[in-house]
Amino acid sequence: MKTITMDLTNALAEAVGANGIDAGELATTLANISDYYARLLAKPFAFMTLPETKFQFDEMWTLADKAAAMDIKNLVILGIGGSSLGTQTIFEALLHPLHNMEERFRNGKPRYFILDNIDPHKMAAIVETIIPDIDRTFLVVISKSGETPETISQFMLFNELMRRSPGYQQRIVLITDREKGLLNRIAEKEGYPTLNLPDGVGGRFSVLTPVGLFPSALMGLDIKRLSAGAAGMAAHTVRYDGEENMAFVLAAILYLMDRAGKKIHVVMPYCERLGGFADWFRQLEAESLGKKGLGPTPTKSMGVTDQHSQLQLYVEGPKDKCVILFYSATQEVPIPASFDYLEDVQYLANKDMKSLFHAEFQGTRLSLTEAQTPNISLILDEVSDYNLGALFYLFEMVTAIMGHLLSVNAFDQPGVEQGKIYTKAMMGKKGLEKEKEHTEALLLRRAKTIVF
């Protein structure tokens, strides 16, 4: 069965000269990973065991079945970073692109609102949209720590809104750490049901836990297939046959690219449904590997749109990038013959958008390669729940392996934590008086400004 094909030809020196990876170097790096991987299999990271353990699947189905009987109109999801990007990715990939716009595309499922920002303008607009149907609104609050100010402040707002309607306790679910954090205390006091993250799984590695799977179950998506895709990829990456192992090879190439000064990883899907996936990976790679002055800079481009925005830079700009392309297109949209008086457009007549899309993808690969910009392509036979689960697992493995190669801890995020502390201090949290003084002193420093 062929579901995802990775083509690394254009990342190798044979295709892109000195900007590519030398085959010998790749083989050496792969051999080094093999030792590490043997250790990892003996003592796997918690995220690696998820496809097997199917953590809290029964609890998720029970709660999702109850919700399905409730005639819900709005699903509101509060969470940020690793607590929201997985759900966003799954919804963008697997729901109808115009899901929220038209009822006929929703198959009886609710509209969804993922509030991963507290921008007051957008918050106000969403609240305004939801209030008329607050009694048909289902709220999922996701925070592993249970302490993130963005999510907690949103929850304070929505908690008060929800309380205006009868039976609201049945329409709120909290997803958080098994024991720690304020959400557990709130759940206990208010009687809200909870789901959890398994021990040892951090936010950005949590998409295949209730964090990504419960909202998906509420939308009627097949979480078993998502998990089966991850299990399939786990089985693929478990056998070490060096150059045939997608996770090892991709991690080794991206690491060698980084070391050779190609420190910008451009993730460029030719498939709008994978736009969310690019955002998800951008966070996974940046927050996991950006440490100790190291770490590649991931960035997102959308094919074909960004051919007319970024491609010039990738082709003729500095050779500091490695482009990771994704491609998937199944739908056919015929281009009818039209404007028969214009010879110049007839090459498009009676063709299909799908073949044009494919030609654009190939055209980009060729022009990058000719300009000696290294590029890798992952081609999906379809954007399915199974393939998406496999991609999640693949890129989590790649990130963990790259962490090892770069000698950084891929599973912490001290830089993010510091920002959280400053925010809480500035907002007057008890116990952070010293930090508050420190931030005030910093903010009082003479600023150099220009006013228009």
Residues that bind ligand PA5 (CB under 6 A): 80-83, 143-145, 148, 151, 202-204, 287, 413, 416
* Distance in angstroms (rounded) separating the CA atoms of residues 249 and 8: 9
Non-local (6+) Cβ contacts of 397 within 8 A are 48, 233, 237, 247, 251
Q: Based on CB atoms, which residue is closest to ligand PA5, 29 or 216?
A: 216
Nearest approach, Cβ of residue 199 and ligand PA5 (Å): 14
Q: Based on CB atoms, which residue is closest to ligand PA5, 259 or 420?
A: 420
Six token digits for residue 358: 């494919």
Q: Which residues pair with 141 in a beta bridge?
A: 78, 174
The candidate with the shortest Cα–Cα distance to 286, out of 85, 33, 6, 11, is 85
Asked if residue 413 lies in contact with residue 285, where contact means CB atoms within 8 angstroms, the answer is no
Q: Based on CB atoms, which residue is closest to ligand PA5, 211 or 311?
A: 211
Q: Based on CB atoms, which residue is closest to ligand PA5, 19 or 209?
A: 209
Nearest approach, Cβ of residue 416 and ligand PA5 (Å): 5
Question: Which listed residue (236, 319, 354, 420) is catalytic?
Answer: 420
Give buried/exposed letters for 419-434 (b at 16+ CB in 10 A, else e). eeeebbbeeeeeebee
Nearest approach, Cβ of residue 177 and ligand PA5 (Å): 8
* Distance in angstroms (rounded) separating the CA atoms of residues 288 and 45: 14
Asked if residue 294 lies in contact with residue 348, where contact means CB atoms within 8 angstroms, the answer is no
Question: Which listed residue (287, 396, 404, 424) is catalytic?
Answer: 287
Q: Based on CB atoms, which residue is closest to ligand PA5, 145 or 377?
A: 145
Q: Based on CB atoms, which residue is closest to ligand PA5, 377 or 413?
A: 413
Query: Taking the CB of residue 311, how many other CB atoms lie within 10 A of it?
Result: 23
Six token digits for residue 366: 């060729």
Question: Which listed residue (189, 308, 430, 434) is catalytic?
Answer: 308
| 447 DSSP 8-state letter | P
Q: Based on CB atoms, which residue is closest to ligand PA5, 211 or 252?
A: 211
Nearest approach, Cβ of residue 99 and ligand PA5 (Å): 24
* Distance in angstroms (rounded) separating the CA atoms of residues 124 and 2: 46
How are beta strands 137-142 and 74-78 bridged, if at all?
parallel
Nearest approach, Cβ of residue 403 and ligand PA5 (Å): 13
* Distance in angstroms (rounded) separating the CA atoms of residues 325 and 274: 11
The candidate with the shortest Cα–Cα distance to 389, out of 58, 86, 70, is 86
* Distance in angstroms (rounded) separating the CA atoms of residues 141 and 410: 25
Q: Based on CB atoms, which residue is closest to ligand PA5, 385 or 396?
A: 396
Nearest approach, Cβ of residue 126 and ligand PA5 (Å): 19
Active site residue 308: yes
Six token digits for residue 360: 């654009």
Non-local (6+) Cβ contacts of 224 within 8 A are 57
Asked if residue 283 lies in contact with residue 40, where contact means CB atoms within 8 angstroms, the answer is no
Q: Which residues pair with 5 in a beta bridge?
A: 379
Non-local (6+) Cβ contacts of 265 within 8 A are 254, 257, 285, 296, 297, 298, 299, 321, 322, 324
| 400 DSSP 8-state letter | H
Q: Based on CB atoms, which residue is closest to ligand PA5, 157 or 416?
A: 416
Residue nearest to ligand PA5 (CB): 203
Nearest approach, Cβ of residue 353 and ligand PA5 (Å): 36
Nearest approach, Cβ of residue 86 and ligand PA5 (Å): 10
The candidate with the shortest Cα–Cα distance to 221, out of 418, 46, 87, is 87
The candidate with the shortest Cα–Cα distance to 96, out of 106, 87, 84, is 106
Six token digits for residue 237: 């990456």
Active site residue 287: yes
Nearest approach, Cβ of residue 157 and ligand PA5 (Å): 16
The one-letter amino acid at 165: S
Q: What amino acid positions are annotated as catalytic residues?
A: 287, 308, 420
